[in-house]
Amino acid sequence: MTPPDSTNNKPGSFDRSALVRGLGEAPARLTDLVAKQAQDQGHALYLVGGVLRDLLLGGGSADLDFVIESDASAFARGLQKRYGGQVHAHKPFGTAKWSLNAESADRLGLPLDDLPQHIDFARARKETYAEPAALPLTMPGSIEDDMQRRDFSINALALSLSPKARYGQLLDACSGLQDLRNRQIRVLHERSFIDDPTRILRTLRFATRLNFEISAQTAGWLLHALPLLGRVSGARLRNETKLILAEELAGEILLRLNDLGALKAIQPGFYMPKRLASDLKRASKQAPPWRSPDHDALALRWCLLLAGCEEPVARGIAKRLDLNRRQTDSVIATCRIMAIAEELADPRLRPSEIAPRLETLPSTALHAGWLLLHDSSAAQERLRLTMQRWRTIRPCTNGHDLRALGLPPGPRYKQILKRLRGAWIDGDVRSCAAEQALLQQLLESGEFAPAVQPGARLL
Ligand code: CTP
């Protein structure tokens, strides 16, 4: 669908059949029921944000975002009362999420599988920023205020659904339709990136995903605001980076941010390896030959992103972005694998020398290492063996057996058992009988003194 014609401040119009084409029958019907509720209760309701932008571009989106010029949480609770489901309200921002379930699908008379899991309502609001990069102070406002507080003109469009008389009118106070037609990303005012520097990341995310140009003025303001990225909280930066990592063109977006200097403005030393785009693509196409029950696609992407850094730099970035413990451990372990890449492929090093360095690492890091070392089949094979064999090898002998042999407990136990396990890993021992023979030999050799009497019965 081409964006409908509309001049600034003059509403365009939007056909309901376009909603059905873009959203699908069930979400369009759900939108009708929500609109009907607002019409019956006399609330002004709008469809807004990414879903509308994508509809106007001829695509569809699963997320339904509504703005209402009254109490969003009371409105969502009204829907819950009538159709079931769950409502979670977030008072400070005047937002409410209505989650749908089998019962609500039933009451709505729509197939659950075709419905979004939840829909979002927000009270139309005005925002002011007390200082650069701080979270905004919000207060109730009109739909126009709500559009003016947004990031880009193409995200500042609203489709009126209620009252009935205004159904289908498109509000375009910021010339978003013109920018959609010209395929352009444009912020709404000079202070946009100063108020919210995370919009720097969003600009490159949308420009790359939609293949839009960044307007010259927006690009100038963006460059000027780059140093402010250093003042944004880790949680907000992590969230925006996570959204980038979920994009199909994540590598391309991050490379552009890298070339702009945005990554090093977040944290010195944060840079993007040129190979990231192909690494991320490989990650979505290829899987290692082992099954990972705890596969975590996002943690894997964090690993690929930071694998090229020296360990202390990666640790600094993980801390700056406030990554959780599990993600940080996986990232650091991936850096360690990359630091020993040559040794992994070195045939002079026996498996028992390699295994201890790999087997305690998180499986996400081994997965990342396997993808990153795709040009070294020897290294990949050792990563595979770690996951599929080495990690589970246990010798037949245990501490009780050594004790039964009369060996006084001590650090020797660990050394002997390690040696036996190493022999299994190297393939020098393939049965309990062979292990027993090796144990006998070790004990008699005096290497693990005090030696037991030659010929003592073992096991
Ligand atoms: N928004 C904003 N400034 C931000 C984040 C969000 O103005 N820093 C506004 C935009 O109008 C955006 C809407 O909030 O359209 C919803 O945010 P989000 O879900 O992140 O964006 P979408 O446009 O829906 O993105 P996507 O297509 O990736 O779902």
Cβ of 186 closer than 6 Å to ligand 1, yes or no, is: no
Residues 261 and 302 in one domain: no
Determine the average pLDDT of the residues in 311-333. Answer: 96
Contact 343, 349 (CB under 8 A): yes
The pLDDT, as a whole number, for residue 129 is 84
The pLDDT, as a whole number, for residue 12 is 54
Cβ of 195 closer than 6 Å to ligand 1, yes or no, is: no
The pLDDT, as a whole number, for residue 203 is 98
pLDDT of 32 > 90? The answer is yes
Residues 25 and 148 in one domain: yes
Determine the average pLDDT of the residues in 158-183. Answer: 96
In a domain, 452, yes or no: no
The pLDDT, as a whole number, for residue 13 is 62
In a domain, 239, yes or no: yes
In a domain, 49, yes or no: yes
For residues 37 and 455, give the distance between their C-alpha atoms in angstroms, rounded to a whole number: 90
CATH code of the domain containing 95: 3.30.460.10
The pLDDT, as a whole number, for residue 8 is 37
The pLDDT, as a whole number, for residue 59 is 84
For residues 138 and 258, give the distance between their C-alpha atoms in angstroms, rounded to a whole number: 33
pLDDT of 451 > 70? The answer is no
In a domain, 2, yes or no: no
Determine the average pLDDT of the residues in 113-120. Answer: 95
In a domain, 162, yes or no: yes
Pairing of strands 118-123, 64-68: parallel
Cβ of 169 closer than 6 Å to ligand 1, yes or no, is: no
In a domain, 187, yes or no: no
Total residue length of the chain = 459
For residues 336 and 317, give the distance between their C-alpha atoms in angstroms, rounded to a whole number: 16
Contact 405, 399 (CB under 8 A): no
In a domain, 176, yes or no: yes
Task: Tell me, in angstroms, the distance from the centre of ligand 1 to residue 177's CA.
Answer: 17
Determine the average pLDDT of the residues in 176-181. Answer: 97
The pLDDT, as a whole number, for residue 457 is 52
Residues 22 and 171 in one domain: yes
For residues 366 and 344, give the distance between their C-alpha atoms in angstroms, rounded to a whole number: 12
The pLDDT, as a whole number, for residue 7 is 36
For residues 459 and 454, give the distance between their C-alpha atoms in angstroms, rounded to a whole number: 14
Cβ of 49 closer than 6 Å to ligand 1, yes or no, is: yes
Of 1, 2, 6, nearest to 170 by C-alpha is 6
SS3 call for 274: coil
Please count the structural domains in the chain. 4
Pocket test for ligand 1, best of 151, 171, 172, 196 (most atoms within 8 A of CB): 151
Residues 364 and 419 in one domain: no
Cβ of 59 closer than 6 Å to ligand 1, yes or no, is: no
What average pLDDT does the structure give for the chain?
Answer: 91
Domain range for 116 is: 12-182
Residues 48 and 151 in one domain: yes
Domain closes at, from 152, 182, 212 = 182
Domain closes at, from 231, 266, 301 = 266
CA 426 to chain centre: 39
CATH code of the domain containing 229: 1.10.110.30
Of 168, 173, 113, 166, nearest to 149 by C-alpha is 173
Residues 43 and 161 in one domain: yes
Residues 175 and 33 in one domain: yes
Q: Which of 188-192, 275-279, 322-326 comes out lowest in average pLDDT?
A: 275-279
The pLDDT, as a whole number, for residue 10 is 41
Question: How far separated are the first and last CA of the chain, in Å rounded?
Answer: 78
Give the nearest ligand 1 atom to 198 CA. Answer: 8
Residues 409 and 383 in one domain: no
Residues 381 and 427 in one domain: no
Domain closes at, from 182, 203, 225 = 182
The pLDDT, as a whole number, for residue 455 is 52
The pLDDT, as a whole number, for residue 39 is 97
The pLDDT, as a whole number, for residue 6 is 39
Of 276, 295, 281, nearest to 387 by C-alpha is 295
What does the DSSP 8-state code read for residue 116?
-
In a domain, 200, yes or no: yes
Residues 172 and 210 in one domain: no
Cβ of 63 closer than 6 Å to ligand 1, yes or no, is: yes
Atom 3 in ligand 1: residue holding the nearest Cα: 151
pLDDT of 2 > 80? The answer is no
Report pLDDT digits (tens) over 240-286: 999 999 999 999 999 999 999 999 999 998 988 888 999 999 999 99
The pLDDT, as a whole number, for residue 459 is 45
Residue with tokens 């947004």: 150
The partner residues of 184 in beta bridges, in order of sequence, read 213
The rounded percent of the chain whose pLDDT value lies above 70 is 95
Determine the average pLDDT of the residues in 35-49. Answer: 97
Confidence of residue 449 (pLDDT cuts 50, 70, 90): low
pLDDT of 154 > 80? The answer is yes
Give the nearest ligand 1 atom to 63 CA. Answer: 29
Residues 348 and 405 in one domain: no
Q: Of residues 9 and 395, which shows the higher confidence score?
A: 395
Residues 350 and 429 in one domain: no
Cβ of 428 closer than 6 Å to ligand 1, yes or no, is: no
Confidence of residue 187 (pLDDT cuts 50, 70, 90): very high
For residues 395 and 359, give the distance between their C-alpha atoms in angstroms, rounded to a whole number: 16
Task: Tell me, in angstroms, the distance from the centre of ligand 1 to residue 192's CA.
Answer: 14
The rounded percent of the chain whose pLDDT value lies above 90 is 80
